[in-house]
Amino acid sequence: MPHFTVVPVKDQAQSNYDSLEGINWVDYRDTGQDVPDHQDTVSSDGHGNHKEDSPFLNSASAASKKNDFYDRNLALFEEELDIRPKVSSLLSRLVSYTNITQGAKEHEEEESAAASRRKTPKSPNMGTLMGVYLPCLQNIFGVILFLRLTWIVGMAGIMQSLLIVLMCCSCTMLTAISMSAIATNGVVPAGGAYFMISRSLGPEFGGAVGLCFYLGTTFASAMYILGAIEIFLKYLVPQAAIFHATDTLGSDSAMLNNMRVYGSLCLSLMAVVVFVGVKYVNKLASLFLACVIISIVSIYAGAFKSMTHPPEFTICMLGNRTLVRDRFDVCAKTVIKDNITVPSQLWEMFCLPGNMSSPQCDDYFIQNNVTEIHGIPGLGSGIIRENMWSDYQQKGEISEKAGLQSVDAHGATENFGMYVSADIATSFTLLVGIFFPSATGIMAGSNRSGDLRDAQKSIPVGTILAITTTSLVYFSSVVLFGSCIEGVVLRDKFGDAVRKNLVVGTLSWPSPWVIVIGSFFSTVGAGLQSLTGAPRLLQAIAKDNIIPFLRVFGHGKTNGEPTWALLLTGLIAELGILIASLDMVAPILSMFFLMCYLFVNLACAVQTLLRTPSWRPRFKYYHWALSFLGMSMCLALMFISSWYYAIVAMVIAGMIYKYIEYQGAEKEWGDGIRGLSLSAARYALLRLEVGPPHTKNWRPQLLVLLKLDEDLHVKYPRLLTFASQLKAGKGLTIVGCVVQGNFLESYGEMQAAEQAIKNMMEIERVKGFCQIVVASKVREGIVHLIQSCGLGGMKHNTVMMGWPYGWRQSEDPRAWKTFINTVRCTTAAHLALMVPKNVSFYPSNHERFTDGTIDVWWIVHDGGMLMLLPFLLKLHKVWRKCKMRIFTVAQMDDNSIQMKKDLAMFLYQLRIEAEVEVVEMHDSDISAYTYERTLMMEQRSQMLRQMRLSSAEREREAQLVKDRHSLVRMGSLYSDEEEEVVEASPEKVHMTWTREKCEAEKRNRSNAPENFRELMSLKPDQSNVRRMHTAVKLNEVIVNRSHDARLVLLNMPGPPRDTDGDENYMEFLEVLTEGLERVLLVRGGGREVITIYS
């Protein structure tokens, strides 16, 4: 062991606390060596992510104190203090740690690399109001409140509108509770919701939901831009329209084309602003928020003013139909000019030019009167009773007032454009999808956690207060709109009945322009914020390196601005712009946000139910039932608003999930899904412990015993190939290996062996576990594996091991003794055993057998293993086209014809298709070949014993001659490969040559010819002759019938009870399998593994 000296070193400043969870930097230096750079001691996974190798903060500053590690009072802990900090050091680091701003640095902070290095990170100082509450308000209030809430109230009525608001706000409130719990369980860096979900549910869920959240934010920018363009073209500068309708029916398509052109220009302009100067977007955020607040205040002021002085906005009605007010000047059929009654502009719209006494007019126009009603009756008018219930319309349906008298007459089609009509068909579910984006934006506080003075206090309080405030505003707005505004005006989406004014603007005080201008700037600001946040979210996902094809979007300008991510965001937002309809874009982003919120609730519920030790949120007012309720509401809202969009969003998320699972980089973030898997596995294992599996559920649970060469490479990888073909990805597979040596000294070798086997398992597509045991004897290590592998009910029931090739040529009996000992151990443990012989000739997973047979030689009943194994093999594509043949042996007193019928019926009841053959073996005379083969076997065994004996004696003699004072090494001359040579006590033994010893040595040497003559006159044992006879005769029959078979399965005879016959047992197995290319020797485990019952 090298001698290490701990020397005090000067403290080296670490910039930006870049190794917060890295290894503690302590200077371990051998005397005379150079001081290593401390940056190299931080463990990294190669992708810029520090591994969590230590739970302690970096204690470099503690190393600067001279006697910090070797305090006299802590001398007992000197070894621990080399790698772990003292409590005082840890606490001092915690106190000095500052949670610097997370995410990409702003453009103005990155004007030069040198300047950024000189700057010290500012300590976060934002409180709950500025850091969480107001940003959430700005993100939640948006375009829907100003452009669509009045229309939603008009269509759904006050009661259903309140239900819509309640559903959406309850969903976001429950999500905020779950989010607060997650956000207060540690620091949330850049990425916000993505970071929370990925670290709680794993990279697969995190990547899928993170991309959905990104797409939702991107489509939100498109929705805000479309809202801004709608305000611009409808209410601010209508003259700016490029496309104009040629007739009344083409107005919608012209408007959509105008939205596409101006929306694309606005998106390009915003993208340039975000690219050039993000700082301007952040500085203007307060201005945009002020516009929102002023607009909302003006709505309340106008509503309460309408109690005494309602605004003058009259509506012109023809019968009970609402007319488009900007097409004529006076709401009357005739006007008086110079005391003469003349037709009005309205008359000219509905009638042909001519005499008023016999006009050619629209029937509905002639039979109904023109009246004027107040568009804003005011808060005290009682209009709330009419607006209480829903009035959904079909596309093209004319807006009518229920209380007015009307004569039903068929009007001319060309006059349809004079009426206010519905541009889309409406329903409760559609309105839910359109309104929900106005409840989103609750993540703004958690995204800024790095800027907060006390994030774990500010995020829950600020977010929940913001949701409460916005919910109250929405509830009160629904009631105020229904109480102050006429129903036909509420259902007028674009304000055609009130001279093209914004409907909510007609209620505001002091002027409608307050709302128009305020809503325009607020929607522009919200679009800029979304266009700023979405690329950073994509950059955070790309930098985590869990989705390979997104890696390019992790790069950007030198100051960290996500250039490529911004480009992709602009392209996706352009798709939303080309849709050009605010009402169609809103449900799309609702899906993505709802899916994100669903998984936030799921993450909180999973962590709470698992009771993970690291789950210690400071926010205590959460419960798993609330999280499940929020998750259920998110799922319900997805399908309520648009079932087909919900399915598309789920398919997209599912595809991303499977892609990350199949192709993505492996990450271990201590997520809840891993914890959930552990809990499920524990539950399943406890259930399995109840009793042994039923015969119908029995399948080979393999323990594959592998051997490694000197370079730690798998010696016979085809064992793993065959195991994968047999398992077809099902059941348990444990790959075991024994490393010979001492555990303390061979730990590194064990890890290397484990990695080599895991790599080979991945190549051969073996799904299972690797178990390495370090033992002083290989035999003992194998016994440990057989006894201890598995857990509870998930234990192996079958052992697969390789054949000891070259055992005949080796003078060392270690290999075959270990093999036979393993056979005995599996038998004692009641485990099945499979020994593939000539395994190097077995097919790889890429080969296909287009014909051939799998032959089963059923000599003795083994519980059905021989029938089950070929059936399992045929499930794999390599063996699928092979046919199965079953052979059994009939003796002289057996009825072979009846045996064949019985076996065929047995296989029929087992539902196994196979050809059946009965082989008769009547010749019981022992041949001369059998006798000679047995004699050769026993002579070889005797010769090897004598060779080992003489070799050992020669070695002992040489040792004594070399050093008469050598240590006596006590050990058995017939020890196998694993038996240790036990050293005697280290006392010196003086050996002396005497005359008697010399004469004894001479007599031993003169006995060598006598030993040889005894060897030649040896007579074979009769039991060995009988066994050899069986092996020879069976081999002849098997080779005759199955010489061209793809695989031969054969009962493996049991080893002899007397260990003296072990070597003969190996010879019997060799004789039994001679001349066969691929043989699988099988021993049953002593229980039935196949049944005829259903």
pLDDT greater than 90 at residue 45: no
Question: Higher pLDDT residue, 3 or 893?
Answer: 893
- Dist CA 670 CA 607 (whole Å): 11
**pLDDT-based confidence at residue 162 (cuts at 50, 70, 90):** very high
Strands across the sheet containing 370-374: 321-322, 314-318, 370-374
> Tokens 């006798």 appear where?
931
pLDDT in tens, 239-273: 888 888 776 556 778 888 999 999 999 999 999 98
Whether omega before 510 lies within 30 degrees of 0, making that bond cis, reads: yes
Number of other CB atoms surrounding residue 1086 within 10 Å:
12
Candidates 735, 789, 737, 739; CA nearest to 764 is 735
pLDDT higher than threshold 60 for residue 423? yes
Question: In the structure encoding, which two tokens stand for residue 374, read together?
Answer: 């107040």
User: For the ranges 21-25, 228-232, 480-484, which has the lowest average pLDDT?
Assistant: 21-25
pLDDT at 1051: 85
Residue 1071 has pLDDT above 60, yes or no: yes
Asked if 829 and 712 count as a contact pair (C-beta separation under 8 A), the reply is no
CA dist 873 and 14 (Å) reads: 60
Distances (CA, A) of 164 to 159, 483, 637, 644, 794: 9, 18, 10, 20, 51
Question: Which 3 state secondary structure label does DSSP give 313?
Answer: coil
Q: In the numeric block, which tokens belong to residue 5?
A: 């000296």
- CA dihedral angle for residue 343, residue 345, residue 348, residue 349, rounded to 10 degrees: -150
Mean per-residue pLDDT, 989-1009? 54
The arithmetic mean of pLDDT across residues 765-780, rounded, is: 89
Average pLDDT value for residue range 744-761: 90
- The pLDDT confidence band at residue 155, using thresholds 50, 70 and 90, is very high
The conformational region for residue 511 under phi > 0 = left, psi -120 to 50 = alpha, else beta, is beta
- Most confident range (mean pLDDT) of 754-758, 891-895, 976-980, 1032-1036 is 754-758
Model pLDDT for residues 428-458, shown as the tens digit of each residue: 999 999 999 999 888 877 766 666 777 778 8
pLDDT at 415: 79
Report the largest interatomic distance among the alpha carbons of the chain, rounded to a whole angstrom: 165
User: Which pLDDT band holds residue 657 (cuts at 50, 70, 90)?
Assistant: confident
Q: How confident is residue 278, by pLDDT bands cut at 50, 70 and 90?
A: confident
The CA distance from 162 to 157, in Å, is 8
- Look at residues 657, 650, 672 and name the one whose alpha carbon lies nearest to residue 604: 672
678 Cβ neighbours under 8 A, 6+ residues apart: none
CA distance 471 to 466: 8
Say which amino acid occupies 298.
S
Distance in angstroms (rounded) separating the CA atoms of residues 607 and 247: 60
Of the candidates 98, 675, 780, 176, which has an alpha carbon nearest to the alpha carbon of residue 444? 176
Residues 6 or more apart in contact with residue 384 via CB below 8 angstroms: 158, 479, 482, 483
Contact between 260 and 230 (Cβ < 8 Å) = no
Confidence of residue 691 (pLDDT cuts 50, 70, 90): low
Q: What gap in Å lies between CA 675 and CA 986, rounded to an integer? A: 54
- The single-letter code of the amino acid at 72 is R
Query: Using an 8 Å Cβ cutoff, are 430 and 177 in contact?
Result: no
pLDDT in tens, 123-133: 567 788 888 88
- Residue located via tokens 């976001």: 172
Give the Cα separation of 445 and 814 in Å (integer). Answer: 70
| The pLDDT of residue 656 is above 70 | yes
Contact between 486 and 373 under an 8 Å Cβ cutoff? The reply is yes
What's the DSSP call for residue 351?
B
- pLDDT for res 250: 62
Non-local (6+) Cβ contacts of 136 within 8 A are: 441, 442, 444, 445, 462, 463, 466, 467
Lowest mean pLDDT segment, chosen from 86-95, 286-295, 321-330: 86-95
Q: What is the pLDDT of residues 496-514, one digit of tens each?
A: 888 888 999 999 988 889 9
- Are 227 and 611 contacting, i.e. CB atoms less than 8 angstroms apart? no
Q: For position 488, what pLDDT does the model report?
A: 92
Instruction: Give the pLDDT score at 1005.
Output: 52
Q: Higher pLDDT residue, 104 or 210?
A: 210
HSE, side-chain direction, 13 A CA sphere, residue 396: 6
Reported residue count of the chain is 1094
CA dist 754 and 464 (Å) reads 51
Other CB atoms within 10 Å distance of the CB of residue 54:
17
Higher local confidence (pLDDT), 713 or 41: 713
CA distance linking residue 768 with residue 781, whole number of Å: 20
User: What is residue 233's DSSP assignment?
Assistant: I
Residue found under tokens 């874009």:
585
Contacts of 815 (CB under 8 A, 6+ apart): 804, 806, 807, 977
Tell me what pLDDT residue 942 has. Answer: 62
Alpha-carbon span 378 to 815, nearest angstrom: 100
pLDDT confidence of residue 1020: 60
The type of residue at 653 is: A
- Of 975, 970, 979, nearest in space to 777 by CA: 979
| Token digits of residue 313 | 């906005």
pLDDT at 1055 over 50: yes
pLDDT over 60 (residue 970): no
What sign does the CA torsion over 496, 500, 504, 506 have?
Answer: negative
Using 50, 70 and 90 to split pLDDT, how confident is the model at 679? confident
Question: Is residue 744 exposed (0-12), middle (13-18) or buried (19+ Cβ within 10 Å)?
Answer: exposed
Rounded average pLDDT over 761-769: 87
Q: Phi-psi bin for 1079: left (phi > 0), alpha (psi -120 to 50), beta? A: beta
- Residue 758 tokens read as 């895991």
Name the average pLDDT for the chain: 77
Band of pLDDT at residue 971, cut at 50, 70 and 90? very low
Question: What share of the chain has pLDDT > 90, as a percent?
Answer: 22
Contact between 681 and 791 under an 8 Å Cβ cutoff? The reply is no
- Three-state DSSP class for 621? coil
**861 CB contacts (<8 Å, ≥6 apart)?**
1084
Q: Is the pLDDT of residue 984 over 50?
A: no
Q: Which of 275-284, 371-380, 515-524, 756-765 has the lowest mean pLDDT?
A: 275-284
Structure confidence at residue 166 (pLDDT): 96
Nearest to 830 by CA among 798, 867, 784: 798
Residues 434, 327, 410, CA angle at the centre, nearest 5°?
A: 80
Q: How many CB atoms lie within 10 A of CB 1044?
A: 9
Tokens 């980089």 appear where?
665
d(CA 1004, CA 1002): 5
Predicted local distance difference test score (pLDDT) of residue 187: 67
Q: 409-430 burial string, b = 16+ CB within 10 Å, else e?
A: eebeeebebbbbbbebebebbb
Per-residue pLDDT band for 213 (boundaries 50, 70, 90) equals confident
Q: Is the preceding omega at residue 613 within 30 degrees of 0, hence cis?
A: no
Non-local CB neighbours of 854 within 8 Å, separated by 6+ positions: 870, 873, 874, 879, 882, 883, 884, 885, 1045, 1046, 1047, 1049
pLDDT at 467: 95
Neighbour-count burial for 592-627, b at 16+ CB within 10 Å, e otherwise: bbbbbbbbbbbbbbbbbbbebeebebbbeebebebb
Identity of the highest mean pLDDT range in 189-203, 508-522, 546-560: 508-522
The confidence score (pLDDT) of residue 866 equals 84
pTM: 0.69
First to last CA, the chain: 64
- pLDDT over 70 (residue 12): no
Least confident of 70-74, 754-758, 771-775, 966-970: 966-970
pLDDT at 800: 93
384 and 490 Cβ atoms separated by less than 8 Å: no
pLDDT in tens, 736-751: 999 998 888 888 899 9
CA–CA dist 607, 672 (Å, integer): 6
Kindly calculate the radius of gyration of the chain based on its CA atoms and give it in whole angstroms: 43
Q: Is 707 within 8 Å of 744 (Cβ atoms)?
A: no
Is pLDDT at 677 greater than 80 in this prediction?
A: no
Higher pLDDT, 793 or 825: 825
Residue 298: both structure tokens together = 């003006």
pLDDT band at 1034 (very low <50, low <70, confident <90, very high): confident
Reading the block at residue 553, the tokens are 């979007």
